Amino acid sequence: MAKLIVTSRGLEAAPQTLRVIKDAFPDAEVGRTGFRGVITMDAEGDALKLAEHVYQECFVDIGRAVAIFSEVESTREEVEEAAVRIGEENIERGESFCFRLYKRGSHQFEKDTPELEEKIGGAIWEVLEEKRGEEPEVDLETPSVTIDAEVLGSKTAVGVLRREWEVDVA
């Protein structure tokens, strides 16, 4: 079973995003998270392919579609462990990456988001450097791969977003 977190482009667009996802994927289980503009989606198949398909079908109405590979407690240690493992498995040699953290609700993160992103992203960087014997490329603007942590109160969903999924609307 594939799991995604889909966000709307803005809070005012949340009802439209939910409707569009339900219409485009009638066989998927689509639900609310309790946080406005953040939707869960469960469907048969591969999470990466499903997220890419969501971008292709619904790019006008979504902010992000993240293929989720782990759900952990909302602590720095657990999120970092999941992010490092997911990064190691999903960032290929020659691909740039970044780590992003989106905090919502009550959680146990005491540090500011930029500091946490730097520390957890640094841990991913170290594992990739050790594994490959070369410095991985970090790109904070347009990375090939984003390791994404969606904090939803006491639980955090950690997954992958790939730049190649994004639809060019120009």
Instruction: Identify the CATH number of the domain in which residue 52 sits.
Output: 3.30.2130.30
**Does any domain span residue 169?**
no
Residue range 8-18: mean pLDDT, rounded: 90
> Which tokens is 42 given?
């469960």
Residues 6+ apart with CB under 8 A from 145: 87, 90, 91, 95, 96, 97, 160, 161, 162, 163
Looking at residue 11, its pLDDT comes to: 83
Please indicate whether residue 126 or residue 9 has the higher confidence score (pLDDT): 126
Would you say 44 and 52 are in contact if contact means Cβ atoms under 8 Å apart? Answer: no
- The number of distinct structural domains making up the chain is 1
**Does any domain span residue 170?**
no
80-129 pLDDT, tens per residue? 999 999 999 999 999 999 999 999 998 888 899 999 999 999 999 999 99
pLDDT band with cut points at 50, 70 and 90 for residue 169: low
Would you say 4 and 51 are in contact if contact means Cβ atoms under 8 Å apart? Answer: yes
Residue range 131-153: mean pLDDT, rounded: 97
Looking at residue 141, its pLDDT comes to: 96
Looking at residue 168, its pLDDT comes to: 64
**Does any domain span residue 121?**
yes
**Does any domain span residue 144?**
yes
Cα-atom radius of gyration of the chain, to the nearest Å?
16
**Does any domain span residue 22?**
yes
**Does any domain span residue 20?**
yes
23-76 pLDDT, tens per residue? 999 999 999 999 999 999 999 999 999 999 999 999 999 999 999 999 999 999
Runs of H (alpha helix) within 74-112: 76-90
Looking at residue 108, its pLDDT comes to: 84
Give the number of other CB atoms < 10 A from CB of residue 16. 15
User: To the nearest whole number, what is the mean pLDDT of the chain?
Assistant: 95
DSSP, collapsed to helix, strand or coil, labels residue 5 as strand
**Does any domain span residue 88?**
yes
**CA 79 to each of CA 14, 50, 52, 94, 157: distance values in angstroms, whole numbers, following the listed order:** 26, 23, 24, 25, 9
Q: What residues make up the domain containing 61?
A: 2-164
**Does any domain span residue 28?**
yes
